[in-house]
């Protein structure tokens, strides 16, 4: 699966986090993550990121810079359970009012301090993404 998403900052340098609705289940359940989702067949990366962010948060964004791609492979006794290739961009909020939509139950803007305070509540892939995006330093 190819997943696209964005580390979105607002005018106060806060980062947008979302949490999926409990009934959705899945690998990211119960953890704060950045908005994003599955890239659709025939969809360009940038279009997919903007679509997913709009679907999940009601926000329009401007993409500012691509981030290093990484992947996650989840193994089980029966073999590979999940293989995700993450393609993310840094982005800025352009317009719209934050309103969780679709499968998102919660959304919040978080300062760097907030992020460090809830570090264990972030999905481990989001923690990796925040290091790549230099939202936090490697040792933090």
Inside any domain, residue 72: yes
Inside any domain, residue 119: yes
Q: Are strands 104-110 and 70-76 parallel, antiparallel or unpaired?
A: unpaired
Question: H or E element: which one contains 63?
Answer: strand 60-66
Inside any domain, residue 139: no
pLDDT given for residue 25 in this prediction: 57
17 burial type by CB count under 10 A (0-12 exposed, 13-18 middle, 19+ buried): buried
The pTM assigned to this predicted structure is 0.90
pLDDT tens digits for 57-67?
Answer: 999 999 999 99
pLDDT given for residue 117 in this prediction: 94
pLDDT tens digits for 86-101?
Answer: 999 999 999 999 999 8
pLDDT given for residue 78 in this prediction: 85
Show the domain range for 99.
2-132
For residues 5 and 87, what is the distance between their CA atoms, to the nearest angstrom?
7
Domain tally, the chain: 1
């Amino acid at each position: 699966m190819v997943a696209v998403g964005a580390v979105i900052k607002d005018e106060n340098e806060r980062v947008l986090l979302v949490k999926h609705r409990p009934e959705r289940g899945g690998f990211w359940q119960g953890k704060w993550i950045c908005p994003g989702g599955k890239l659709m067949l025939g969809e360009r990366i940038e279009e997919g990121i903007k679509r997913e962010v709009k679907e999940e948060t009601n926000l329009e964004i401007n993409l500012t810079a691509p981030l290093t791609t990484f992947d996650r492979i989840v193994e089980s006794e029966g073999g590979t359970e999940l293989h995700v290739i993450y393609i993310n961009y840094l982005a800025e909020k352009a317009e719209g009012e934050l309103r969780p939509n679709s499968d998102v139950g919660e959304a919040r803007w978080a300062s760097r301090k907030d992020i460090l305070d809830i570090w264990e509540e972030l999905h481990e892939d989001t923690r990796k993404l925040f290091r790549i995006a230099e939202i936090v330093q490697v040792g933090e």
